[in-house]
Structure formats: structure tokens, C-alpha cells
């Protein structure tokens, strides 16, 4: 997926969803150990810098590596997609740590497309997707819910990306 995104948007930064990474980690662990593992994982993804996150991950690997090697392998494999998250300010991280907002909108798009069945043209499909977005904007339910701290996150993104963000 990263390659496809880079072909369309060459300057895009692709990151792993932190929530999905944690959930995937918990699939490989015993439920009785979740109360020990989740705070240790939280220490990794709340680290202030990449170096601090690496140090915290190594401590996590030392503590749980023998018992749960699949979790360690998962994090090592996902690390290149996870690290871009750590480059952002705290305000931006709070907004970006999950992709649930995007997934919710995509689910509404899929639902509308299923209800319609088929589309005679690409333009007809685009109209249905447009109407889904417009329905949400007119008060037919919120696509994203309230995003707390969005103003601070937007300011941090403008500082980081400047001319790439238009308001």
C-alpha cells in the first residue's frame, strides 16, 4: 500500500495506525497479561523522540521477548511504518494515532455503493460519494465526531508542512 500511495502522492508520509498495531500485538498475547503489556506498549508510542521509543522498545523486548516473540517480530516489522508518527508534535499525535475517522468515512462510502448496486459511469459513482459527504455535512450524522485539539494540531501541521497545507 505504501508504494501505491507514494506513486499518487510522492510527498505523502505513510504511517501505521498505532491502535491497530497495539490490537495486533494483543492478538499474540494471553489476556491475563494485557494489563502488563498495554502500559509497556503505551510507553513506546508516547515516547517524545524516536531514540526514546527505540530504547523503550528494547526494554519491552527484553521484558516480554522470551514469552511473546511474535509481538516483538510484529513491532520490528512494522517499525518503519510506525516511526513517522514519532516525528509529529504531541498535539498532532493525539489526532493521528488512529485511522478510525478515515475508516468510518470509507465504511459509509462502501455502504452507499452497495445500496446502489452498480454505476453506469464513473461520474455516477462520484456523485453518490459526493452525496454521502454532503449528507454528513448537512447534519445527517457526523463523519468524524468532534476532534478535540484540532486547532492546535492544525497549527503544528502548518508549521511542519507550510505551503503543502491550504485552509
For residue 93, being part of any structural domain is answered with no
Q: Which residues contact 52 (CB under 8 A, 6 or more apart)?
A: none
Q: Are residues 79 and 31 in the same domain?
A: yes
Predicted pLDDT at 152: 86
Show the 3-state SS of the chain: CHHHHHHHCCCCCCCCCHHHHHHHHHHCCCHHHHHHHHHHHHHHHCCCCHHHHHHHHHHHHHHHCCCCHHHHHHHHHHHHHHHHHHHCCHHHHHHHCCCHHHHHHHHHHHHHHHHHCCCCCHHHHHHHHHHHHHHHHCCCCCCCCCCCCHHHHHHHHHHHHHHHCCC
- Based on the domain organization, do 13 and 79 belong to the same domain? yes
Q: Same structural domain for residues 26 and 57?
A: yes
Residue reference for cell 495506525: 17
**What pLDDT, in 10s, does the model give residues 5-49?**
788 888 888 888 888 899 999 999 999 999 999 999 999 999 999
Find the mean pLDDT for residues 150-156.
85
- C-alpha 17/C-alpha 12 separation (Å) is 15
Please check whether residues 82 and 16 belong to one and the same domain: yes
Global pTM?
A: 0.69
Tally of domains within the chain? 2
- In whole angstroms, give the CA distance from residue 100 to residue 111: 16
Same domain, 80 and 26: yes
Residues 10 and 71 in one domain: yes
Estimate to the nearest angstrom the gap between the alpha carbon of 13 and the chain centroid.
11
Q: Which residue segment(s) compose the domain that 152 sits in?
A: 100-164
Clarify whether residues 71 and 106 are in a common domain.
no
pLDDT of residue 107: 85
**Tens digits of per-residue pLDDT, 50-109?**
999 999 999 999 999 999 999 999 999 999 988 988 888 888 887 776 666 777 788 888
> How does pLDDT run across 97-144, given as a tens digit for each residue?
666 677 778 888 889 889 988 899 999 999 999 998 888 666 655 555
Residues 83, 104, single domain; the answer is: no
Same domain, 65 and 29: yes
pLDDT at 138: 66
Structural domain contains residue 95: no
**Does 74 lie in the same domain as 150?**
no
Tell whether 92 is covered by a domain. Answer: no
R_g of the chain, CA atoms, integer Å: 19
Residues 41 and 81 placed together within one structural domain of the fold: yes
Amino acid at each position: 500500500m505504501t508504494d501505491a500511495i507514494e506513486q499518487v502522492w510522492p510527498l505523502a508520509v505513510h504511517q501505521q495506525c498505532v491502535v491497530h498495531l497495539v490490537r495486533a500485538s494483543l492478538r499474540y498475547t494471553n489476556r491475563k497479561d494485557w494489563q502488563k503489556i498495554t502500559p509497556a506498549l503505551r510507553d513506546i508510542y508516547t515516547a517524545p523522540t524516536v531514540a526514546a521509543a527505540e530504547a523503550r522498545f528494547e526494554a519491552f523486548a527484553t521484558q516480554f521477548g522470551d514469552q511473546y516473540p511474535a509481538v516483538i517480530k510484529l513491532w520490528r516489522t512494522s517499525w518503519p511504518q510506525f516511526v513517522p508518527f514519532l516525528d509529529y508534535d504531541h498535539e498532532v499525535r493525539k489526532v493521528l494515532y488512529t485511522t478510525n475517522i478515515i475508516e468510518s468515512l470509507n465504511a459509509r462510502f462502501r455502504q452507499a455503493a452497495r445500496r446502489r448496486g452498480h454505476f453506469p459511469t464513473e461520474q455516477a459513482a462520484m456523485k453518490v460519494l459526493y452525496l454521502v459527504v454532503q449528507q454528513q455535512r448537512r447534519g445527517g450524522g457526523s463523519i468524524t465526531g468532534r476532534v478535540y485539539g484540532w486547532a492546535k494540531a492544525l497549527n503544528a501541521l502548518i508549521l511542519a508542512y507550510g505551503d503543502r497545507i491550504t485552509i
